[in-house]
Amino acid sequence: MYERESGLKHMQVISGMNVATYWVINVMYDIAKVEVPMILCCALLAIFNLKEYMPEAFPAFILFPFGIVPFTHATSFLF
């Protein structure tokens, strides 16, 4: 929605950026943006010494952005 209002993609494509590169960078940035709170959650589990949740929670928190962000980007094209 924001992209259509601001025209950022259009400006970058006119400047010579490849559309595939634009989307790959966009997905990578969104994954990095979601990783920050996930790493914070892992740190809080360690700080509060919640050992019973650590073995299952760490991989789930760290891998969650790699699953949800591409899925969200792919399904957003449906709308």
The whole-model pTM stands at: 0.79
Helices (H), 1-79: 2-6, 8-14, 19-47, 54-76
**What is the C-alpha to C-alpha distance for residues 27 and 11, in angstroms, rounded to an integer?**
18
The pLDDT score that the predictor gives to residue 76 is: 87
Answer yes or no: is pLDDT of 11 > 90: no
Residue 33 has pLDDT above 90, yes or no: yes
pLDDT of residue 7: 82
pLDDT digits 0-9 by tens, 35-65: 999 999 999 999 999 888 888 899 999 999 9
pLDDT of residue 1: 60
How is the chain split into domains, by residue range? 2-76
Q: Provide the Cα torsion 7, 37, 72, 74; round to 10°.
A: 80
